[in-house]
């Protein structure tokens, strides 16, 4: 999984001792930064009570409030499927950009992005 994440544009962040390893990817489009996907790698050396596992998270703001999404037990799905799920969630909640150069940035202009992501997911 580590190699796949790095190959797909995730950055590895140094964490304090006894903390899970963090991999992070910034999701951007022509309007700005949409959100970040954080992937935490837990190992039995750092947390003896659990086996090695991967957890994917993202948090965003919408008109409904803060949206937190956490995916556990991701052994049987691909990174592309996870990213497509996060993108769909971001769009479906009408989420706001994390940072945008445009004052009126909204998800309505992302129709092409989601169609491309869904097609990528369906082809796996």
Domain boundary assignment for the chain: 2-122
pLDDT in tens, 45-72: 655 666 778 899 999 888 888 888 998 8
- pLDDT value for 1: 86
10-38 burial, b if ≥16 CB within 10 A, otherwise e?
Answer: beeeeeeeeebbbbbbebeeebeebbbbb
Q: What is the C-alpha separation between 78 and 92, in angstroms, rounded?
A: 21
- In the chain, what percentage of residues exceed pLDDT 70? 76
pLDDT-based confidence at residue 101 (cuts at 50, 70, 90): confident
* Distance from chain centroid for Cα 17: 24
């Amino acid at each position: 999984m580590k190699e796949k994440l790095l190959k797909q544009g995730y950055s590895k962040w140094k964490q304090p001792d006894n903390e899970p390893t963090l991999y992070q990817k910034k999701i951007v489009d022509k309007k700005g930064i949409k959100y970040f996907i954080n992937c935490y790698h837990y190992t039995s050396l750092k947390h003896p009570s659990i086996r090695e596992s991967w957890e994917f998270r993202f948090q965003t703001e919408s008109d409904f409030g803060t949206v937190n999404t956490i995916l556990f037990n991701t052994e049987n799905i691909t990174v592309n499927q996870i990213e497509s799920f996060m993108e769909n969630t971001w769009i479906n909640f009408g989420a706001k950009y994390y940072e945008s150069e445009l004052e009126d940035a909204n998800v309505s202009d992302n129709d092409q992005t989601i169609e491309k992501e869904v097609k990528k997911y369906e082809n796996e």
